[in-house]
Structure 1
Amino acid sequence: MALPGTGDLPRPVATADLSTANASQLRGPVSTSRSLPALTLVSHPTALRVGERLLLHGLPTGREVLLSRNAPDFTRPGEPLGLPLGDPFMSRKPLRFIPAGEGIRVVPDRAGHCTCAGEPLQGGREFGPEALARGVPLEFSGRVVVLLHRVPSSETEPPSPLGMVGGSASLQGVRRHIERVADLDVPVLIRGETGTGKELVARALHARGRRQGPFVSVNLGAISKELAAAELFGSVRGAFTGAQRDREGYFQAAEGGTLFLDEVGEASPEVQVMLLRVLETGELYPVGASRPVTTKVRLVTATDADLEARIAEGSFRAPLLHRLAGYELRLPPLRERREDIGPLFLHFAHQELAALGEAHHLAPSDPHAPPWLPAALAVRLLLHPWPGNIRQLRNVARQLVIGGRGQPCLEPDAPLPQEPPRPVTSSAAPSPSEHDGAARRRSTEVGGQELLAALRAHAWDVRRAAQHLGIARSSLYDLIERSPGLRLAGDLSEEEITRCFHACQGNLEEMVKRLEVSGRALRRRLRELGLGPKSP
């Protein structure tokens, strides 16, 4: 059962568009009672940076935080030094994170610089407490993805990884519980959905408890009910047909160590009675034996079933539940720890790439190369419900890596199992041609002359020019910013706009031709300056 993985290394986001709100009305300290806003890297051209984090310390004190490609630094939890995002395709102009009561208002420097679930944050948008609790994916220039979420404000030095990948608050809580109970002899009951990694936690309890005996894992759901008692407690010769010799059970095999019983809710009534006796007396009766055998085993059990409901219906014994749950651990589903999705996916993908001899894709030497994990695919991974949790994520990572074998990066539109409809965060949903994942070409394939010709042919309508070139609209903005001879309407000075307005007698079309900028963006600038354009 593979959860947080071992080794080295929320539902769709709901938002409210407040682009017309007064920014001064939104300012105010974000609550610091229990959490602190943070950004966690999910996709980056240097894939090995996934999981690095930036804590937005200024927001709880009422100060806005600026983020650009050059500052501030992202660091791995527990490490003092880090690096800025540094992607050359990102804007040098900062994205603003502004306190907004219990929420955060995110304001990009221009349309297309930052998107949320494929939708440009035009004019800015506020994300409330519920959205922040689930996690908000923010995508920059179709290459970098960060998750805006919250972390405990009291978080200090993180505990030992214990063989688990991830730094979410819920996973850190699981680690702390393991540290507290690992060296005790009390039985532990692990609860969690299928695929959340219950066996991995049981192994961590065994290793941290420094047990001298072995770790033995048994899935009760995979043992026939007729043989379960003999398998667990052993049997003596002649106990049943075919029992030609004495046989040890799993309890005796785990002597001095840990016995992990998964799917304990599937135990038969006979096995439940025998388990209860072992927990109460430390003795067991092998099937067919007349004398008890003393056992010293640390019992760890797990279930994804509602044991209380089974007690109510009479299929599970309440005294056994009380004995099993000497200490109870709950494992969070993946949808409650979305900041761990990137590191987990990278961990599993690294294993598969290493087996294929293609691990070099995760550390490209060219900073202009497209990211191995495309931003559009990273956002879809974040928004996926993951009903199969970590096990499902591991299988998806294997499928995507093998499906992209021999390619420098994964396919942005690769299918995910049981994927929900693409999220729509406002009534003005982007058309397929505007979505980064729908681009037919890479922006690096578009030359300066081709870009200029497309803009002029479409009267500087950025959306139509992007469609003509077969690239995402956000990518077209990046091309404009990197082209020394081209400008955005936001780059024009008030004096230049006013002079051109009077020279063209307020004719917007003529102004667009002279200034060579987007007509829609220029119209907004004219309104800001109190100048009313005249339609041709």
Structure 2
Amino acid sequence: MQQKISDQLSTTAERPSGRQASSPRAVPVLTLVSHPQPQRIGERLLLETLANTGRTASLSRSAPEFSRPGLPPGQPLADPFLSRTPVQFAPGTRGRLRLLVPKDGTPVRVAEEPARGAREFLPEELIAGVPLVLAERVVLLLHLTRVPEAPVTQELGMVGQSESLRRVREDISRVADLDVPVLIRGETGTGKELVARAIHQQSPRREGPFISINLSAIPRELAASELFGVQRGAYTNAIQDRLGLFRAAQGGTLFLDEVGEAPPEVQVALLRVLETREVYPVGGNTPVPVDVRLLTATDANLEERIQRELFRAPLLHRLAGFEIRMPPLRERREDIGPLFLHFARQELEAIGEAHRLTVTDPRAEPWLPAALAVRLLRYAWPGNVRQLRNITRQLIIGSRGLPHLRIGDRLEQELTVDPQSAGSPHISGFEDTADPDELSPSRRRPADVGEQELLQALRASAWDLKATSERLSISRASVYLLIDKSSLLRTAGNLSPEEITRCFHECQGNLDKMVQRLEVSRRALQRRVRELGLGGP
């Protein structure tokens, strides 16, 4: 008997009483990313029937109804250029999900490839998100979500309904009223300061000051005086006392971003403040009591910095009274559409074109073209939400006065997807006559490949991802996803221009040596080298 997709994507958990109760189940969901009525971006359709019973779920222009998360059903796609003959979603083989496209129905693309007949998607692809384009007018992201979903009573200043963002909101609610230090981890541009502000606003200290400082932006020789203050006469130009940020935040919250960049002497002083709740101003001998909640953030691997003796382990233990991880944008692709809409609304209001988002004619040409929407979904977003906001601003300004968004040559080049970057979802759908290799009994489950085994295979294959997939007996798409999830590995997109440039000169432009040193995909690194104008190997 064909195994139901719900058997693959749902789990159970034991209550303390011993009775079995359903834990959140993974359910396929369609999220609107582009529509002739742009205000509908972010609406969703849960395919619960498919997950609960294994029955086929249908989608046409007239049914079923999409809605905002947590709200009653709203309206169907209602685009008159879509067919009434539905596309269908059904359980596939071995836990996959099958897309069925009728010959006389709506034309469908899966990312860049036309879909005809039947296509199947691996659970890993659903986790990454699969872009579906209907009649070049409506763009949907097919992905997974967990149900039942806890209702979101507060957005806490963060846009999105992805499971990873919901966990962040839950963590904020758990820790906000506790007077413990919080360490916020996440890549650059993910919104770590938003988390810190949300904690402050939900805490008993909300009436007090919230002071934010990026430690990497303070000259090393001034860091101690900026944080702890200066006593008059401490040095030549110290003609008066200065409070410093800790005393300025008295009764409130102090947020230190890039705490991993703190100089050694500042690390020692921070540890002392956390232990004694006292600061010593530069040049002073008398401790000054402070009542401040300390929140910190970093995009660095502090454990690695500890091993390299660049960061103090006791300080990490003190800072991490509670940890919150802010997910990168590539792990929450279902939030790209709502975030884009949020930033676009802000920019359009600033230039007096907010009417672009209030279209009521379902026959209108989509303001966000389907091809551009797919690019946004598939891009790796190394700069995360900050980069999305910047690109949204450029698109809005570059299309000012035009009926639809237009992408310029520079942005088009920036948003070009490189499958080797491991930052964008790879689509490996296939016809009913599936790729024999994909169904071969010799193929392994990606979940059975450990991080160390993956790392060893990559090194043995000289970071050639095709050779790695063959060595591990998994698909290349699975290699991309395992790299993306690994805590041990980086992608070429994660490397800073400075690190690549330095390595290029140290290796005298030898790309093979650079790959061995940086341990990233050769093809993706070659692309980054060319983008930086360093030339080929």
Question: If the TM-score is normalised by the length of the shorter chain, which range does it land in?
Answer: 0.7 to 0.9
Greater relative contact order (Cα < 8 A, sep 6+): 1
Q: What is the CA-CA distance between 1:152 and the residue it aligns to? A: 1.0
Q: What is the CA-CA distance between 1:418 and the residue it aligns to? A: 5.3
In the alignment, is residue 63 of structure 1 matched against residue 60 of structure 2? no
In the alignment, is residue 200 of structure 1 matched against residue 178 of structure 2? no
Conserved 8 A contact 2:102-2:116: no
Pick the aligned partner of 1:54 from 42, 45, 54: 45
Q: What is the CA-CA distance between 1:109 and the residue it aligns to? A: 1.8
In the alignment, is residue 230 of structure 1 matched against residue 225 of structure 2? yes
Conserved 8 A contact 2:375-2:415: no
Q: What is the distance in 2 between the residues matched to 1:89 and 1:418?
A: 28
Which position in structure 2 is the counterpart of 1:104? 97
1:71-470 counterparts in 2 under 5 A?
Answer: 71-100=63-92, 101-110=94-103, 113-211=107-205, 212-411=207-406, 415=412, 417=414, 419-421=416-418, 425=427
With 162-171 and 353-362 compared, the bigger mean Cα shift is at: 353-362
Q: What is the CA-CA distance between 1:421 and the residue it aligns to? A: 4.0
Q: What is the CA-CA distance between 1:364 and the residue it aligns to? A: 1.8
Amino acid at match of 2:417: P
Conserved 8 A contact 1:376-1:412: no
Scaled by the length of structure 2, what TM-score is found?
Answer: 0.73
When residues 277 and 421 of structure 1 are mapped into structure 2, their CA distance, relative to the original with a 3 A threshold, is closer
Scaled by the length of structure 1, what TM-score is found?
Answer: 0.73
1:476-495 counterparts in 2 under 5 A?
Answer: none
Q: What is the CA-CA distance between 1:328 and the residue it aligns to? A: 0.4
Q: What is the distance in 2 between the residues matched to 1:416 and 1:185?
A: 47
Which position in structure 2 is the counterpart of 1:448? none
With 384-393 and 413-422 compared, the bigger mean Cα shift is at: 413-422
Q: What is the distance in 2 between the residues matched to 1:252 and 1:85?
A: 56
Which position in structure 1 is the counterpart of 2:10? 32
Conserved 8 A contact 2:379-2:416: yes
Q: What is the CA-CA distance between 1:241 and the residue it aligns to? A: 1.7
Q: What is the distance in 2 between the residues matched to 1:156 and 1:140?
A: 31
Conserved 8 A contact 1:159-1:175: no
Q: What is the distance in 2 between the residues matched to 1:37 and 1:362?
A: 28
Q: What is the distance in 1 between the residues matched to 2:47 and 2:272?
A: 53
Q: What is the distance in 2 between the residues matched to 1:281 and 1:94?
A: 67
Conserved 8 A contact 1:159-1:172: no
Q: What is the CA-CA distance between 1:107 and the residue it aligns to? A: 0.5
Amino acid at match of 2:103: R
Q: Deviations over 1:421-475 (max 9, x none)?
A: 48985799xxxxxxxxxxxxxxxxxxxxxxxxxxxxxxxxxxxxxxxxxxxxxxx
Q: What is the distance in 1 between the residues matched to 2:389 and 2:179?
A: 33
Q: What is the CA-CA distance between 1:102 and the residue it aligns to? A: 2.1
Which position in structure 2 is the counterpart of 1:440? none
Amino acid at match of 1:45: P
Q: What is the distance in 1 between the residues matched to 2:429 and 2:32?
A: 28
Q: What is the distance in 1 between the residues matched to 2:230 and 2:426?
A: 60
Aligned-partner SS, 1:40: strand
Q: What is the distance in 2 between the residues matched to 1:322 and 1:426?
A: 43
Conserved 8 A contact 1:374-1:412: no
Conserved 8 A contact 1:159-1:176: no
Q: What is the distance in 1 between the residues matched to 2:139 and 2:149?
A: 24
Which position in structure 1 is the counterpart of 2:499? none
Conserved 8 A contact 2:109-2:133: yes
Q: What is the CA-CA distance between 1:169 and the residue it aligns to? A: 0.3
When residues 26 and 260 of structure 1 are mapped into structure 2, their CA distance, relative to the original with a 3 A threshold, is same
Q: Structure 2: which 5+ runs fail to align?
A: 12-24, 420-424, 431-537
Amino acid at match of 2:130: V
Q: What is the CA-CA distance between 1:416 and the residue it aligns to? A: 5.3
Q: What is the CA-CA distance between 1:26 and the residue it aligns to? A: 7.6
Q: What is the distance in 1 between the residues matched to 2:429 and 2:327?
A: 33
Q: CA RMSD in A?
A: 2.0
Identity percentage of aligned residues = 61
Q: What is the CA-CA distance between 1:286 and the residue it aligns to? A: 0.7
Q: What is the distance in 1 between the residues matched to 2:413 and 2:63?
A: 34
Amino acid at match of 1:108: V
Conserved 8 A contact 2:395-2:407: no
When residues 383 and 59 of structure 1 are mapped into structure 2, their CA distance, relative to the original with a 3 A threshold, is same
With 200-209 and 410-419 compared, the bigger mean Cα shift is at: 410-419
Q: What is the distance in 1 between the residues matched to 2:36 and 2:333?
A: 20
When residues 416 and 334 of structure 1 are mapped into structure 2, their CA distance, relative to the original with a 3 A threshold, is farther
Q: What is the CA-CA distance between 1:29 and the residue it aligns to? A: 4.1
Q: Deviations over 1:461-500 (max 9, x none)?
A: xxxxxxxxxxxxxxxxxxxxxxxxxxxxxxxxxxxxxxxx
When residues 373 and 416 of structure 1 are mapped into structure 2, their CA distance, relative to the original with a 3 A threshold, is farther
Conserved 8 A contact 1:265-1:307: yes
Alignment: residue pair count: 406
Q: What is the CA-CA distance between 1:119 and the residue it aligns to? A: 1.4
Q: Deviations over 1:86-124 (max 9, x none)?
A: 111111111100012422101112276211112121111
Aligned-partner SS, 2:36: coil
Q: What is the CA-CA distance between 1:160 and the residue it aligns to? A: 1.5
Q: What is the CA-CA distance between 1:415 and the residue it aligns to? A: 1.3
Aligned-partner SS, 1:150: strand
Q: What is the CA-CA distance between 1:153 and the residue it aligns to? A: 2.3
Q: Deviations over 1:478-526 (max 9, x none)?
A: xxxxxxxxxxxxxxxxxxxxxxxxxxxxxxxxxxxxxxxxxxxxxxxxx
Aligned-partner SS, 2:412: coil
Aligned-partner SS, 1:75: coil
Q: Structure 1: which 5+ runs fail to align?
A: 1-23, 429-536
Amino acid at match of 2:10: T
Conserved 8 A contact 1:138-1:145: yes
Amino acid at match of 1:102: G
Q: What is the CA-CA distance between 1:267 and the residue it aligns to? A: 0.5
Q: What is the distance in 2 between the residues matched to 1:253 and 1:233?
A: 10
Q: Deviations over 1:122-155 (max 9, x none)?
A: 1110111010000011110101011111111232
